[in-house]
Amino acid sequence: YAKVEQSTLPFKGIFTNLNTKTGYFVFLTKEKREISGYVSNLIKENMISFNFTSVYNVSVTQSIDITLDNKNKIDFILESCLVSEN
């Protein structure tokens, strides 16, 4: 048995790793939190325009699989990504 909790979280920061072949990303927030996961299929084709110098506002869906043995698995999906205006 596993329970899944999902929430959408906004972050501001920069990309530190992008793999356009697999859709994998690593994002460092302004609060120095590192988030890694995969880009949603809806925006995957836009990954080639992402860079490591621009600051972005992103929206990430966090899924937490909670199992009976308390081995929680957390996945992140990048849902939207816009260059920050400031």
- Rounded to two decimals, what is the model's pTM? 0.87
Q: Return all residues near 75 (Cβ < 8 A) that are at least 6 apart.
A: 37, 62, 63, 65
Task: Name the one residue in this structure whose structure tokens are 């990309």.
Answer: 15
Torsion of CA 6, 46, 27, 2, to 10 degrees: 20
Q: Is the pLDDT of residue 1 over 70?
A: no
pLDDT for 41 equals 94
Is the pLDDT assigned to residue 3 strictly greater than 80?
Answer: no
User: pLDDT tens for residues 7-62?
Assistant: 999 999 999 999 999 999 999 999 999 999 999 999 999 999 999 999 999 999 99
In the chain, the DSSP E strands lie at: 2-19, 24-29, 34-39, 56-67, 73-83
In angstroms, rounded to a whole number, what is the distance separating the alpha carbons of residues 58 and 9?
8
